[in-house]
Amino acid sequence: MRIPTPLRSYTNGEPVVQATGGTVDELLRDLDRRYPGIRFRMVDEQGQLRTHMKVFVGDEMTRDLTSAVDPASEVTLMQALSGG
């Protein structure tokens, strides 16, 4: 799983980490088990992906946390940046 720069403080600076699961949500839950607090930065209190987050499974973007993930797939998390 590729981690965006703003969230790497949760992964001890690692840009790529391992997570397991059959769906995007399961991956994010496993990621949070390994790196506590990271999921809250990506998923809101209603269990929805935050608007500034994008998830790519392979080359396909998804915002559906129930999207299936093949164990061989590369998952990339992206975070929109804002500022002036």
The order of strands in the sheet holding 60-62 is 60-62, 53-57, 75-79
Question: 11-59 pLDDT, tens per residue?
Answer: 999 999 999 999 999 999 999 999 999 999 999 999 999 999 999 999 9
* Structure confidence at residue 80 (pLDDT): 82
Map out the domains of the chain with their CATH numbers. Answer: 5-79 (3.10.20.30)
Confidence bin at 60 (pLDDT 50/70/90): very high
Given a contact cutoff of 8 angstroms between Cβ atoms, the answer to whether 43 and 28 are in contact is yes
* Structure confidence at residue 83 (pLDDT): 54
pLDDT for 82 beyond 70: no
* Structure confidence at residue 50 (pLDDT): 94
